[in-house]
Each structure stands twice: as C-alpha cells, then as structure tokens.
C-alpha cells in the first residue's frame, strides 16, 4: 500500500466512499456508537486484528458504548496515505457486524 501522502482531492474522493468518516486536520476520523460496552469492546478487538494484518495502527478510544478512530501515517509525516484509507475501509466494513450506528 502506498505510503506517500494523498492530495486533498484524493482524500475527498476516498472519503466519499467512507460514510461517517471525515478529515480532521491531517487525520481520518470516525466514531461508532454501539449497543453497549461489550459490543464496543468487541469491535476494538476486531479493529486491532485488522491493524495487525495491515501492520498499521490507528488511535482508538473506547467509551462505554462508543469507539472512536483516528488514522494517519507516521512515516508520511502524520499525513493521510492510501494505507490509512484501506484501514478506514476495513474498519467501516466491521462496523455493521458489531451493530454500530
């Protein structure tokens, strides 16, 4: 996966395919609300598994029934790359399986 920073246009184009995700400074961000703490914790575990598969790790925040994710690539100066978009895409695909709203 590319680790070169994406242009603003490239980021906007990719975000159009990632409902709920947005650009916040130089990071992609999203928050998911789940049914309860158990569902939120399970989602964090599954996100961690995807991160290990990609060898790319986001900042995760676990609340009672929320999971917030922030993604950027440190090796690209903390900017958004194709690797961040791929991680966001995989996280978005996990969300419905956990009942995220």
Residue 63 has pLDDT above 70, yes or no: yes
Chain centroid to CA 18: how far?
Answer: 10
Alpha helices in the chain (DSSP H): 8-15, 37-54, 82-94
Domain ranges in the chain?
33-98
Q: What pLDDT score does 8 carry?
A: 96
Place of tokens 């995807």: 50
Domain formed by 33-98, architecture = 2-Layer Sandwich (3.30)
Q: What is the pLDDT of residues 1-29, one digit of tens each?
A: 558 999 999 999 999 999 999 999 999 99
Contact predicate 1/86, CB 8 Å:
yes
Task: Please indicate, yes or no, whether the overall pTM of this predicted structure exceeds 0.85.
Answer: yes
Annotate 71-92 with b (16+ C-beta within 10 A) or e (fewer).
Answer: bbbeebeebbbbbbbbbbebbb
């Amino acid at each position: 996966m590319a680790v070169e920073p994406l242009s603003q246009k490239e980021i906007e184009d990719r975000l159009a395919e990632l409902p709920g995700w947005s650009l916040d400074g130089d990071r992609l961000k999203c928050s998911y609300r789940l049914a309860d703490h158990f569902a939120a914790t399970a989602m964090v575990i599954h996100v961690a598994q995807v991160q290990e598969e990609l060898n790319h790790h986001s900042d995760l925040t676990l609340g009672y029934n929320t999971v917030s994710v922030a993604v950027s690539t440190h090796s690209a100066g903390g900017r958004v790359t194709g690797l961040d978009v791929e991680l966001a895409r995989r996280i978005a695909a996990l969300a419905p399986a956990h009942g995220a709203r």
